[in-house]
């Protein structure tokens, strides 16, 4: 695997939650990542630790990643002008028979 590909993978892993990182570690340690036919490599414990180690982000970085992912501003993206009114309607519709 080329170093640039590995760096890309590290970048993706940085975006995962701690729980998702632990799932990846379990997957890698279970041997499921081994594929002798394709010649894939096993990860060392050091590489796995590097992948799952949280990397602190500034508030600005957190907000920017939310904007990039669509998590922030999603109300307007869903054409919802008033989130309080929308939520009220959702609650009412659950109780209507």
pLDDT at 75 over 50: yes
> pLDDT: is 35 or 1 the higher one?
1
pLDDT of residue 1: 63
Angle at 40 between CA 34 and CA 45, to 5 degrees: 65
Q: Which two tokens stand for residue 54?
A: 């949280």
pLDDT per position as a tens digit, 7-40: 888 888 888 888 888 888 888 777 755 554 455 5
- Domain ranges in the chain are 1-55, 58-97
pLDDT at 54 over 60: yes
């Amino acid at each position: 695997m080329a170093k640039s590909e590995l760096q890309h993978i590290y970048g993706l892993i940085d975006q995962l939650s701690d729980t998702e990182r632990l799932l990846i570690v379990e997957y890698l340690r279970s041997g499921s990542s081994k594929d002798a036919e394709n010649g894939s490599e096993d990860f060392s414990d050091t590489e796995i630790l590097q992948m799952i180690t949280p990397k602190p982000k500034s508030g600005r970085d957190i907000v920017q990643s939310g904007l990039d992912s669509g998590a922030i501003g999603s109300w307007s993206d869903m054409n919802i002008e008033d989130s309080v009114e929308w939520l009220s309607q959702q609650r009412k519709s659950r109780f209507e028979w």
